[in-house]
Amino acid sequence: MKQRIFTLTLITIFLLFHALPVYAHKMMIEPVEDGKIKVIYADGSFSSRTVVTVYDENGTEVAQGPLDEEGYFSYDISTAHSFVAEDGLGHRSEWTIGEEGQAKSDPHQWITVGIVVLIFVIVAIIFSKRAKKKKLAA
C-alpha cells in the first residue's frame, strides 16, 4: 500500500515538473505604441476571444473590448492606466502603463496547479484503499 502511494506520488511529481517547460500558452500584454497594445501567448499566437478591460488610475473600468483581427487593442491614452486581458479559457494577464518588460500572468497559477495535483493524489489514495478492502473481503 505504502509503496503504491509512493509510486503514484513520484509519477505525479515527475509529470508535473516534466510538463513545465512546455508552458507555451502564457498570455502576455506587450505595449506597441501609445494607444495600442498587443495581447499574445508565449508562442506568438493570439486568441480572437480575448477581451481587454482598461482601468484608470483609480481602478475604475473605462473601456472594454475584443482584440482586432491581428491581436491588437487600441485605447484612449488620456484615461488608460492599467489593463487586464482574459481569453475566457483561464488565461489572464495584467499590465500597467510604465511597467518595464512583459505583463504579469496570473499569480495564482501555481496554487491552482498544486490543488489539481493534490486532488489527483487524494483520488488515487481513495481508489487504492477501496481496492485493498475488496481484496481483503474476497
pLDDT digits 0-9 by tens, 20-36: 444 446 888 999 898 99
The mean pLDDT of the chain is 82
Residue 90 predicted with pLDDT over 70: yes
Please name the residue that has the C-alpha cell 501609445: 34
**Residues 27, 91: contact at Cβ < 8 Å?**
yes
Mean pLDDT across 10-27: 62
Determine the Cα–Cα distance for residues 17 and 2; give it in Å rounded to an integer: 23
Read off the C-alpha cell for 96: 500597467
d(CA 62, CA 54): 6
Considering only CA atoms, which of 65, 33, 24 is closest in space to residue 48? 65
> pTM here?
0.57
The pLDDT of residue 20: 43
CB burial readout 28-52, b (16+ within 10 A) else e: bbbbeeeeebbbbbeeeebbeebbb
Is the pLDDT reported for residue 118 higher than 70? yes
Q: Whose grid coordinates read 508552458?
A: 23
Q: pLDDT at position 57, please? A: 93
Mean pLDDT for the stretch of residues 2-6 = 78
Closest CA to 81 of 52, 51, 55: 55
**CA 26 – CA 58 distance, rounded (Å):** 27
| Residue 112 pLDDT > 50 | yes
Ordered by start, the domain boundaries in the chain are: 2-137
Summarize pLDDT for 45-85 with one digit per residue, the tens.
Answer: 888 899 999 999 999 999 999 999 999 999 998 999 999 99
Q: Give the range among 23-27, 54-58, 89-93, 122-126 with minimum mean pLDDT.
A: 23-27
Of residues 69 and 9, more confidently modeled:
69
Q: Identify the band that residue 16 occupies on the pLDDT scale cut at 50, 70 and 90.
A: low
